[in-house]
Structure 1
Amino acid sequence: MRNISDIIEKYLKGILQDSPEGIIEIQRNDLAEQFSCVPSQINYVISTRFTLEKGYLVESKRGGGGYVRIRRIELPGPTTLHTHLHQTIGEEMGQSAAEGLIYQLVEARFLTTREAALMQAAVSREVLMVKLPYRDQIRARMMKAMLISLLS
């Protein structure tokens, strides 16, 4: 059985996908009530699964009438994707940023889940057993090389 975080994530992604603007606005308390959980569980899901690295922009307003607005950031088309990747990756890239970018590319269907799994394995800190900042520099170069060859 899936845990409550997975269920909330799937629900939010579903309504986000159905939104013509790619934006949803939710009330934490209403959502917590709907899923019979505490509002902090909603905060956890949003802060860990709807990050900028994963292709989401989250805005929130606390207090009476507060809301959480989640916006899906679309990747550029294939013609400008290479430029976007070079800007996103830069000269160094941490593991969580790399995983987030890979996730975003899978969600946008630029990568298969198999390609993503291979990439994640190749750039993990367990494989790149080099001290920082060299590890992040190597990871960035590997990400660029793999993505250029896969997306060309």
Structure 2
Amino acid sequence: MGLTTRIEQFLLEMLASEDIEFIEIGRNELAQKFNCAPSQINYVLTTRFTPYKGYYVESRRGGGGYIKIIKLELSENELINNILNEVIKDTITLDKVKHVVRSLVDDEVLSENEAFIIIHSLDDNALAHVDMKDRNKLRADIFKNILLALLR
């Protein structure tokens, strides 16, 4: 298991084990625990604890810097609307689609089978007849339609 995943798992376990609505931890303390640079912690926060995955992160840098992670309680519709309005925009990469779909499976909005179908319908093989410069735009349009269908 890579460092990023270990840090993510540690934070997720803290969120799950505490009977509170958020966790607060020192950035330097966390970096020391995992023997890494504070920038590695920032990377985990910006890629693994995003609003579309249902998290709000407050962060203060400096000597007394801390990280506060709040798990948001979003309905399926709120989650999908958040993805439509904040994540996809005009284009989306296949990697970003995979992250979004994985978070929807984790939140039990999608089944593993539905996720499999969505990812394969948006991968580069499915869009092989579309010029490379246009694929992410078409991928975004199709993904938006899929998510809108889920809202119905």
Using structure 2 for the length normalisation, give the TM-score: 0.72
Check the 8 A contact 1:110/1:151 in 2, yes or no: no
The one-letter code sitting in structure 2 at the alignment partner of 1:143 is F
Residues 5-54 of structure 1, C-alpha deviations (whole Å, 9 max, x = no match): 21111111111233445422221111122223332322222222223343
Q: Does 1:94 align with 2:92?
A: yes
Q: Which residue of 1 aligns with 2:143?
A: 143
SS of 2:23's equivalent in the other structure is strand
Q: Which residue of 2 aligns with 1:11?
A: 10
Residues 37-77 of structure 1, C-alpha deviations (whole Å, 9 max, x = no match): 33232222222222334332222111121111222233314
The structural deviation recorded for 1:94 is 0.8
Q: Runs ≥4 in structure 1, deviation > 6 angstroms?
A: none
Matching of residues 107-126 of structure 1 within 5 Å: 107-125=106-124
Q: Does 1:67 align with 2:66?
A: yes
Q: Which residue of 1 aligns with 2:46?
A: 47
| Aligned-pair identity (%) | 36
Q: Which moved more, 1:82-91 or 1:47-56?
A: 82-91
Check the 8 A contact 1:28/1:68 in 2, yes or no: yes
Unaligned runs of 5+ in 2: none
Unaligned runs of 5+ in 1: none
Using structure 1 for the length normalisation, give the TM-score: 0.72
Check the 8 A contact 2:28/2:65 in 1, yes or no: no
Inter-partner Cα distance in structure 2 for 1:142 and 1:92: 11
